[in-house]
Amino acid sequence: MDAMAWTCSLVMGLCVAGAAYWGATAFQQFVDWVEGDLNERLRSLRVISPHLRRWLYFWLGLVVTLFFALWLGGGALTFAAGSAVLLSAGPWYLVRRMSQQRRQKIEDQLADAMVMFSGAVRAGLSIPQALEILAVECPLPIRQEFAQLVGEYRMGRPLERALEEGKSRLKSENFVLFAAALLASRESGGRLNETVERISKSILEIQRLERKVVSETAQARKSALYMAVAPVLILLVYFYVDPVNTRLLFATLPGQVMLSVAVALNLAAYGWARVILSPEI
């Protein structure tokens, strides 16, 4: 009997240790993935954070502390879990959103930069000299990218390598076309200004179509936003009309589950609407 109990205890201990090891490994891989994604987004925003992992652990510690405070102190397990999820994903979403906005702004400015570049080449300037003009005359944020490219070239880095690193840094299809035109001109010659002008005209036409789609779907996007905000306003109205029953949504477990499911479905519906109303051209 003692041997059987010892064997069962050993098996349970091994299972717990294996589960703990698997959980720690999965958590470490998740943190590595989040750190890599955030580092990439921060680099696109030109923000350097050498202690990003330390800040991640610090923020996760605050989220876990808040979770247990809401759960044990207020008895609201579902609300505590929802708050922890929102606080964990919120900063990450904001950084990704800012990175996407900056990248989109660069895409919008690239066509005008190409027109300026082709004019400089037509005036007789070399490719490095034309890039120097872009690094001075272009607006932010694309000016920063051209300034880095020119700075790397002045420090002795080959222009081909600087352009390749610019492509990997910007991840822009339009910049890939621009860099390919520059590299092809350096290798085989040709009328670079005409090639760049044709590329810029194509980009401008694509941007015109994108703006048309945005203007045509503006009302629908507003309706999706109103649909997402309406449940919150209705909940506030019900809180003043029937405060006793409305408090049950926050004070009881079934109410918290219903409220969490409603919030999740509302966010999913809003995200789905945004995806449908933002087609790629």
Same domain membership, residue 201 and residue 106 = yes
199 lies in the same domain as 238: no
- Quick one: 93 and 105 in the same domain? no
CA distance 213 to 169: 28
The DSSP letter of residue 278 is: S
Mean pLDDT for 228-254 is 82
The residue segments making up the domain with residue 183 are 101-206
Lowest mean pLDDT among 64-68, 74-78, 86-90, 170-174: 74-78
Residue 107 shares a structural domain with residue 164 = yes
Same domain, 28 and 58: yes
Q: Give domain status of residue 151, yes or no.
A: yes
Q: Are residues 105 and 200 in the same domain?
A: yes
Read off the pLDDT of each residue in 84-102 and give the average, rounded to a whole number.
Answer: 82
Q: Is the whole model's pTM more than 0.95, yes or no?
A: no
Whether residue 243 lies inside any domain: the answer is yes
Pairwise CA distance, residues 61 & 88, whole Å: 10
pLDDT band at residue 11 using 50, 70 and 90 as cut-offs: low
Q: What's the mean pLDDT in 103-131?
A: 84
Domain-ending residue, one of 180, 206, 232: 206
pLDDT in tens, 111-120: 888 888 888 8
Same domain, 258 and 272: yes
- pLDDT tens for 27-55 read 677 777 777 777 888 777 777 777 777 88
In a domain, 211, yes or no: no
Domain-located, residue 2: no
Determine, yes or no, domain membership for 20. Answer: yes
Place of tokens 């999965």: 26
On whether residue 267 sits in a domain, the answer given is: yes
Q: Distance between alpha carbon 251 and the CA centroid of its chain, in Å?
A: 35
Q: Per the structure block, which two tokens stand in for 44?
A: 């696109």
Residue 217's SS3 state is coil
The total number of structural domains that make up the chain: 3
* One domain for residues 115 and 86: no
Number of Cβ within 10 Å of residue 126's Cβ equals 10
**Which contacts of 75-82 are long-range, i.e. CB under 8 A and separated by 24 or more positions?**
76/250, 76/251, 76/256, 77/253, 77/256, 78/253, 78/256, 78/257, 78/259, 78/260, 79/250, 79/256, 79/259, 79/260, 81/260, 82/260, 82/263
| Domain assignment of residue 81, yes or no | yes
Q: Which of 82, 99, 116 is the last residue of a domain?
A: 99
Tokens (6 digits) for 148: 């880095």
Residues 95 and 128 occupy one common structural domain: no
- End residue of a domain, out of 70, 99, 128: 99
Q: Using CA of residue 23, residue 24, residue 27, residue 28, what is the dihedral sign?
A: negative
Q: pLDDT over 70 for what percent of the chain?
A: 88
What is the 8-class DSSP label of residue 73? Answer: I
| CA distance readout (Å), 212 to 124, 191, 206, 272 | 37, 32, 10, 21
Instruction: Confirm whether 7 is domain-assigned.
Output: no
